[in-house]
A = this chain, B = another copy of it.
Amino acid sequence: MDLIRRFSLCCALAAGLALLAPAAFAEQEAPQIENFTLDNGLEVVVIPDHRAPVVTHMVWYKVGSADEEPGKSGIAHFLEHLMFKGTEKYGPGVFSARIAEVGGRENAFTSYDYTAYYQQVAPDLLPEMMAMEADRMTNLILTDEVIAPERDVVIEERNSRVENEPRSLLSEEVNATLYQNHPYRFPVIGWMHEIEKLNRDDAIEFYRRHYAPNNAVLVIAGDVEPAAVRELAEETYGKVARGPELPPRLRPTEPEQNTRRTVTLNDARVGVPNFSKRWLVPSYTTAEPGAAEALDILSEVLGGGVRSRLYQELVVKQGIASSAMAYYQGTALDDTMFMVLGSPRGDATIEDVEKAIDAEVAKIAADGVTEEEVEKAKKRFVRSMIFARDEQDGMARIYGSTLTTGGTVEDIANWPDRIRAVKAEDVKAAATRWLDERRAVAAYLLPQE
């Protein structure tokens, strides 16, 4: 099976989602979406989009790697793979074969806070997709015969995506350092030695506990009518029995952090060195009102593109970096991270890049940003996200990721107004309050000494 289709490493995915955030709706009002809940607890979102005869069908489960038991890292992602192993009604591979046969696309991905499955097909095939997806919500068959080979697939995936990628290896250990108590410290794909021990019982237990209509969100975007979708949803997903009530997703939270930390990887496979720094910051779900929006604008002013301070100063003016950027992982159930990064160029060293980045951060904390910068940043921020709207599944992802990380449809609707309300002083306050050395981990990716 195709690994790429099956898995998005959370960082890549999450970063993408941050950039796809609800700003897509900033320049036009939110579409007339329909939002309702079936009797068995399944929340449904329908997003009409009649530009083309295509529909995106997604099921999002409110479970991700941060919901795993200690010692079982990787089980959420492993189960995502196993979800393709078939049911009594649709045997192994039947679902995927059918999608290929009709020229559709499918994907699945696991992150810290959610696991999602999707297909993109012509609208007349939607009923079939819904029937098959609803079926594997509860009827998955897992035999020992499929466990070991699929575990080997995941191990190979980890080899290729992490063990052979120094940047990923470093990133894992940075997260394990930044988060001292919270399970975001564990890699989504799992530690190798724990993946190797995952078994059928682990997968079944995880599936039975977390996969149920009352722990999922169905998102359908495309050339469909909400009333028809509702009827279809009731005929398919509506027949799946409600699962036991799940306890609130209360994970261990971070203690007060007091230290600045560094993590260094020297690896012979590293060509270009890279500096990065991550701070522990609140997410849209955990922040006080306005704080996450200010962090979003801060990331844009500081490092959101070629007009940003980091790019202009390090790449254009000083010429010491080949890249320099910032991003804020705002979509998360729990406290999350704000990140800056850059790679040296020419004779410049990684220390030069670090110093220049630190200076830009310090400058904002000390002197703030101008209202003009903030206004331009809002526009750039919005403009760079317009692309999300153009991709039907980008829209669906915004709803899925928001609704599985503690947000609501209303949060998405009023997000543009909240972004518009950010003032220059809020951005300065965000930098001062959150980009604190005592909550930071600097990371150095370097060639072998």
What is the interface of chain A, defined by CB distance below 8 A to chain B?
70-71, 73, 169-170, 172-173, 176-177, 180-181, 183, 185-186, 191-194, 250-253, 255-265, 267
- Name the residue on B nearest A180 (C-beta): B176
| Contacting residue for A257 out of B70, B173, B183, CB 8 A | B173
- Name the residue on B nearest A193 (C-beta): B255
Are A252's CB and B180's CB within 8 A? Answer: no
With A169-B258, A262-B261, A264-B259 as given contacts, are A185 and B180 in contact (CB-CB < 8 Å)?
A: yes
Sample of 6 more A-B contacts, CB < 8 Å, known A70-B251, A170-B259, A173-B258:
A70-B252, A173-B180, A176-B181, A181-B186, A194-B255, A258-B267
7 tightest Cβ-Cβ pairs between the two chains A and B: A176-B180, A71-B252, A191-B255, A173-B259, A262-B262, A259-B263, A70-B252
Are B70's CB and A70's CB within 8 A? Answer: yes
| Chain B residues with CB under 8 A of A267 | 258
Are A260's CB and B255's CB within 8 A? Answer: no
Q: Give Cα A71–Cα B192 distance, bound, in whole angstroms.
A: 24
Q: Give Cα A46–Cα B73 distance, bound, in whole angstroms.
A: 43
| Chain B residues with CB under 8 A of A265 | 258-259
| Contacting residue for A194 out of B194, B252, B257, B259, CB 8 A | B252
- Name the residue on B nearest A264 (C-beta): B260
| Chain B residues with CB under 8 A of A183 | 70
Q: Give Cα A99–Cα B185 distance, bound, in whole angstroms.
A: 46
Closest Cβ of chain B to A52, distance in Å, is 45
Q: Give Cα A267–Cα B260 distance, bound, in whole angstroms.
A: 12
| Chain B residues with CB under 8 A of A253 | 193
Are A261's CB and B264's CB within 8 A? Answer: yes
- Name the residue on B nearest A256 (C-beta): B192
Q: Give Cα A191–Cα B176 distance, bound, in whole angstroms.
A: 17
| Chain B residues with CB under 8 A of A259 | 169-170, 173, 263-265
Are B193's CB and A250's CB within 8 A? Answer: no
Are A177's CB and B261's CB within 8 A? Answer: yes
Q: Give Cα A260–Cα B446 distance, bound, in whole angstroms.
A: 12
20 of the cross-chain contacts (CB-CB < 8 Å) are A70-B183, A71-B250, A71-B251, A73-B181, A169-B258, A170-B258, A170-B259, A173-B258, A173-B259, A173-B261, A176-B180, A177-B177, A177-B261, A191-B255, A192-B255, A193-B253, A194-B252, A258-B265, A259-B264, A261-B263
Q: Give Cα A73–Cα B251 distance, bound, in whole angstroms.
A: 13
| Chain B residues with CB under 8 A of A170 | 258-259
| Chain B residues with CB under 8 A of A250 | 71
Are B177's CB and A181's CB within 8 A? Answer: no
Interface centre among A173, A183, A257, A259 (most CB of B within 10 A): A259
| Chain B residues with CB under 8 A of A192 | 255-256
Closest Cβ of chain B to A165, distance in Å, is 12
Q: Give Cα A259–Cα B186 distance, bound, in whole angstroms.
A: 16
Closest Cβ of chain B to A84, distance in Å, is 27
Q: Give Cα A183–Cα B183 distance, bound, in whole angstroms.
A: 12
Closest Cβ of chain B to A83, distance in Å, is 25
Closest Cβ of chain B to A58, distance in Å, is 30
Are A191's CB and B185's CB within 8 A? Answer: no
Closest Cβ of chain B to A198, distance in Å, is 13
Closest Cβ of chain B to A34, distance in Å, is 38
Are B173's CB and A181's CB within 8 A? Answer: no
| Chain B residues with CB under 8 A of A252 | 70-71, 73, 194
